[in-house]
Structure 1
Amino acid sequence: MNWKARLLALDALMPSLDDYGRLAWGSLADAAEDAELVFLGLDRSDGGERACFAAVPPRGDASPRMANPQLWALMASLEPGDLALYGGARSLVDWHARHRFCAQCGAPTKPAKAGWQRNCGACHAQHFPRTDPVTIMLAEHDGRLMLGRGKGWPEGRFSALAGFVEPGETIEEAVAREVFEEAGIRVRDVTYVASQPWPFPSQLMIGCHCHALSDELEIDTTEMAEVRFFTREEVAASMAGDGPFATPPRHAIAHTLIEWWLKT
């Protein structure tokens, strides 16, 4: 056992912080004797080289991203490097916790390839961590930006519309379908802007921009509480903290997309 190796301190899937607000680390001696460990990479920050691991918790968590306000607050406090590391570790150990049995035959699986694979000893199937593509998009019409508030979101909180890419779809088709399904709006000229891994539980957010063909909304009330068009002035004021709606948190790609739109 390498006692110089580091173990990411997690409370189930919640990050633990040190006295400086950074991710807390321990040694492999802190892991339970029967713990499943996954390899996160090598830390060369101090001129040396230390292996970094995380332990798989007893249970995973596939609850909606808004379900844990404490986690949102902790994520907002992390610096970018720690946030990226935590996001990757959370996705990986959560996948292990929720895939302990083979999807092909139901037999127990065991970690392989340093935790980046699980193998079935019965039917020999190999299982790999999944990433689910999600489009998240800004649609604009005559200089106004369309944003929505999902069911169950806090009053006044607006963000970009989003939805999973379905089998057989291109990114452009997924953007057009999701905007039409949620807001009843047809769009054109879908372009890619940026992407972000999102560990709730294992999504890749694909940020896009498009133009709405009209502003006549037909809202899907089973998913959306509100959808509205905002002027550039209203969006800018909201991003400054003094506008008609609460913006997405800074660690979410929706915030980055809105910043990008204001600069274009």
Structure 2
Amino acid sequence: MPARPSESQASFAAKLPLSRHQIDRDYLAREREELFPELLADEGTRILPVSKGRALFQNETSLALLPPAAIPPQAELVYLGRSLATDAPEPVGTPILAALLTDEQAEKVASEEQWGNLRMFATGLSDRDAGLATEALGIANWHASHRFSPRSGRPLRSVKGGWVRIDPDDGHEIFPRTDPAIIVGVTDADDRLLLGSNALWEKNRFSLLAGFVEPGESLEQAVEREIFEESGVRVTDATYLGSQPWPFPASLMLGFRARVDDANPGSLEPDGAEIVDLRWFTRDELIAAGDEVILPGRSSIARAIIEDWYGSEIDD
């Protein structure tokens, strides 16, 4: 029997906006060859349009789920699953598709102002809509980057409810992939938190240090390597907190806490390429910094880890 998450892990996971879901992915239905014709013929089916990394919103707190007749017939489709939400306008069990629209198709479906960025609106969405948008955008990004076979260069065809792309000539199948990345709340002996500023950001924007897991590397090894590479600090005791999908375009952010290795602390120094500034903060210093320090947005796991260390929500 799989181990149950600890109470602290469960509590932390509840703070992650993009980890929420109320969808049965209904994976067995993906095998049905007539899945899409059946669902499109059902007037109760609902479709979430996505385009250019954005989803269609009804308002700031809910997605726009459209009937099949409102979607261009040539749109590429993905079966997202069936709604489990008891408080949604649609009944429990409603099948939901994503429509991956071209620019021209998107213009016909809705006006520009109706398309929304998940980073901005995630915290206001219901559990079901947050999960739907995260799933739809993640799979849409995969389709957009896997149009052709890496072995032959031939165009791939979408099959199995949009969850597999296949080479029609030799039958080679390609499945969606997610890139694991660690993100770490590093503290020292005085329980100060380490924050860094990326070269691509404005100078007063700070966040936690993070990086992708390399082949043949454990998560704990990735924590130690990435923190040292970006900051010159040696850490130990990497402790897993929770994870959140980050479909911008295809990451799974794995949250950790770690502390400076007292026996071999290293020397604080930004790498100068990706990280250009590093600062230690006490809780009082972080609050006193005010507008001088811009923290990550509330849709990010970085914000959740920072507030977990702080002990409560931090006002913007």
Q: TM-score range by the shorter chain?
A: 0.7 to 0.9
Counterpart residue identity of residue 111, structure 1: S
SS in 1 for 2:62: coil
- Over aligned residue pairs, what C-alpha RMSD do you find? 2.3
- 1:190 aligned to which of 235, 238, 247: 238
Counterpart residue identity of residue 309, structure 2: W
State the partner residue of 2:141: 94
SS in 1 for 2:310: helix
CA contact (8 A) 2:54 2:117 kept: no
SS in 1 for 2:130: helix
- 1:36 aligned to which of 69, 76, 87: 76
CA contact (8 A) 1:56 1:94 kept: no
- 1:57 aligned to which of 101, 119, 123: 101
Instruction: Output the CA distance in 2 between the equivalents of 1:215 and 1:161.
Output: 16
- 1:23 aligned to which of 60, 63, 85: 63
User: Cα gap change, 1:52/1:223 in structure 2, threshold over 3 Å: closer, same or farther?
Assistant: same
Deviation (angstroms), 1:16: 2.1
Among the aligned pairs, what percent are the same residue?
Answer: 37
Counterpart residue identity of residue 53, structure 1: L
SS in 2 for 1:18: strand
CA contact (8 A) 1:137 1:209 kept: yes
Instruction: Output the CA distance in 1 between the equivalents of 2:117 and 2:137.
Output: 15
User: Cα gap change, 1:81/1:29 in structure 2, threshold over 3 Å: closer, same or farther?
Assistant: same
User: Cα gap change, 1:99/1:58 in structure 2, threshold over 3 Å: closer, same or farther?
Assistant: farther
Counterpart residue identity of residue 8, structure 1: L
Gaps of 5+ in 2: 1-40, 104-115
Deviation (angstroms), 1:262: 2.3
State the partner residue of 1:145: 193
State the partner residue of 1:246: 294
Counterpart residue identity of residue 202, structure 1: A
Instruction: Output the CA distance in 1 between the equivalents of 2:59 and 2:306.
Output: 33
State the partner residue of 2:182: 135
Deviation (angstroms), 1:76: 4.9
- Is 1:125–2:176 an aligned residue pair? no
Instruction: Report the TM-score, using the length of structure 2 for normalisation.
Output: 0.74
SS in 2 for 1:163: strand
CA contact (8 A) 1:105 1:123 kept: no
- Is 1:220–2:271 an aligned residue pair? yes
Instruction: Report the TM-score, using the length of structure 1 for normalisation.
Output: 0.87
Deviation (angstroms), 1:183: 0.4
Deviation (angstroms), 1:121: 0.9
SS in 1 for 2:215: coil
Which of 154-163 and 40-49 deviates more?
Answer: 40-49
User: Cα gap change, 1:88/1:219 in structure 2, threshold over 3 Å: closer, same or farther?
Assistant: same
State the partner residue of 1:230: 281
Question: Which structure ranks higher in relative contact order (CA pairs < 8 Å, sequence separation ≥ 6)?
Answer: 2
Deviation (angstroms), 1:194: 1.1
Deviation (angstroms), 1:26: 0.8
State the partner residue of 1:159: 207
CA contact (8 A) 1:57 1:97 kept: no
Counterpart residue identity of residue 236, structure 2: R
State the partner residue of 2:150: 103
CA contact (8 A) 1:76 1:249 kept: no
Q: Which deviations, in whole Å up to 9, do the C-alpha atoms of 1:116-147 show, x marking residues without a partner?
A: 11111112111111111000001111211111
Greater fraction of residues in helix: 2
CA contact (8 A) 1:56 1:97 kept: no
Deviating runs (4+, > 4 A) in structure 1? none
Instruction: Output the CA distance in 1 between the equivalents of 2:53 and 2:117.
Output: 12
CA contact (8 A) 1:57 1:93 kept: no
